[in-house]
Amino acid sequence: MSALDFTQTSTTRRVGDDERAQILADPGFGQHYTDFMAHARWTAEGGWGAAEVIPFGPLQLSPAAAVLHYGQEIFEGLKAFRHADGSVWTFRPEANGERLQRSARRLALPELPIEDFLASLAAVTVADEPWVPEATSEESLYLRPFMFASEEFLGVRASRTVDYYVIASPAGPYFPRGVQPLIVWITDEYARAGAGGTGAAKCGGNYASSLLGKNEAAEHGADEVLFLDSETHTSIDELSGMNVFAITRDGRLLTPALTGSILEGVTRHSILRLAQDRGLEVAEQRLVMSEVLEQVSSGEITEMFACGTAAVINPIGEFRAHGGSWTVGEGGSGEITLALRKELTDIQYGRIPDRHGWLTRLV
């Protein structure tokens, strides 16, 4: 039982039925927002409280709020999926709740109890149920919980007031071109995270530090940027917001080990399980970029893909760098990549049995 009771303060919808239907017909990613949001506040004196579901809208924040100056902020990403019987489910929310707690510890923010995290997701989804796309599509309602330092104080120390919100956004494919092979730029200029830093936390600063790399990628006609480790600049870390996998000709699935500088992706972990289930040998290890590119060129690596909650599983068709370009496999979407993607989404949308018990019903 959740200690926080996310009571809805108003039932007046912000968006009319016709406009909502129009948005749901082609939501894109991260462009439209629902009618409501969940909120709770933490204070050093009173702990968590003030839980409510309120109309989605602008926040009132002091210009001296600590988050605006020192970036004390963390977030999560999950999806709510409509099943054929009309029910709505989310995927491994406890894993996201636990990661939010780990991120909170790293950013000196208060931990939100898992049951309160789950209650906040359910409260928003119940209030915004009409925003969950139909079961016929591969669309979902993207849930974005986030927490930030709201104390009006300019000294550098952990905030004594913290606000937590969950907003929701109907979502189609993360990439505008849909599930098409990505062109990935390997940056030799920027790194995403360093040893002892915040690389494993889901905090806004990691994403802010990826933006120049993304710009550099776009300048070279690429969709995404790949960061190498900051110390030796030789091994693969991750993309701007996705983990990376390679599949070898002899059926091994490889992904960078969790060294503390990459995000412990829930999708990443689920893929490792699904791959093991289908008899692939999986290895979490150091992946040296130059060796990976050699193996891509020789055909030893046949498929590569990126994964995350928002992007699901997206094939990588080509790498580009200052030294040249490398086509992965035939440059298209690999067979195993697409099979893993289908299996994961079939579980999420309730089209096949949830044998790992990964789904939680929200509505």
> Which residues make beta-bridge pairs with 8?
53
Using CB under 6 A as the binding rule, whether residue 308 contacts ligand COI is answered as yes
Q: Which stretch binds ligand COI (CB under 6 A): 119-127, 229-237, 244-252, 307-315?
A: 307-315
Rounded to the nearest whole angstrom, what is the least distance from the CB of residue 310 to ligand COI in the complex?
A: 3
3-state secondary structure of 93: helix
Rounded to the nearest whole angstrom, what is the least distance from the CB of residue 18 to ligand COI in the complex?
A: 29
Bridge-based pairing of strands 73-75 and 78-82 is: unpaired
Q: Which is nearer to ligand COI, 302 or 348 (CB)?
A: 348
Tokens at residue 29, please? 């990613």
Number of residues that bind ligand COI (CB under 6 A): 5
Rounded to the nearest whole angstrom, what is the least distance from the CB of residue 320 to ligand COI in the complex?
A: 20
Q: Which is nearer to ligand COI, 55 or 205 (CB)?
A: 205
**Among all chains, which residue has been given the structure tokens 């462009």?**
31
Q: Which is nearer to ligand COI, 204 or 334 (CB)?
A: 204
Q: Enumerate residues 242-261 that contact ligand COI by CB under 6 A.
A: none
Using CB under 6 A as the binding rule, whether residue 204 contacts ligand COI is answered as no
Using CB under 6 A as the binding rule, whether residue 206 contacts ligand COI is answered as no
Q: Which is nearer to ligand COI, 13 or 106 (CB)?
A: 106
Q: Which of 27, 77, 97, 317 binds ligand COI (CB under 6 A)?
A: 77
| 301 closest CA partner among 338, 249, 254, 255 | 249
Question: What is d(CA 207, CA 163) in angstroms, rounded to the nearest whole number?
Answer: 20
Using CB under 6 A as the binding rule, whether residue 241 contacts ligand COI is answered as yes
3-state secondary structure of 307: strand
Q: Which is nearer to ligand COI, 265 or 334 (CB)?
A: 265
- State which amino acid sits at residue 280: L
Judged on CB neighbours under 10 Å (0-12, 13-18, 19+), 14 is: middle
Q: Which is nearer to ligand COI, 308 or 329 (CB)?
A: 308
Rounded to the nearest whole angstrom, what is the least distance from the CB of residue 237 to ligand COI in the complex?
A: 15
Question: What is d(CA 8, CA 51) in angstroms, rounded to the nearest whole number?
Answer: 9
Q: How many residues does the chain have?
A: 363
Asked if 84 and 134 touch (Cβ cutoff 8 Å), the reply is: no
Using CB under 6 A as the binding rule, whether residue 125 contacts ligand COI is answered as no
Integer-rounded Cα Rg, in Å, for the chain is 21
Using CB under 6 A as the binding rule, whether residue 310 contacts ligand COI is answered as yes
Q: Which stretch binds ligand COI (CB under 6 A): 64-72, 117-125, 252-260, 304-312?
A: 304-312
Q: Which of 90, 159, 235, 309 binds ligand COI (CB under 6 A)?
A: 309
Q: Which is nearer to ligand COI, 142 or 326 (CB)?
A: 142
> Which residues make beta-bridge pairs with 319?
184, 326
Sign of CA dihedral 354, 355, 358, 362: positive
Question: What is d(CA 56, CA 121) in angstroms, rounded to the nearest whole number?
Answer: 15
Site residues (CB under 6 A) for ligand COI?
77, 241, 308-310
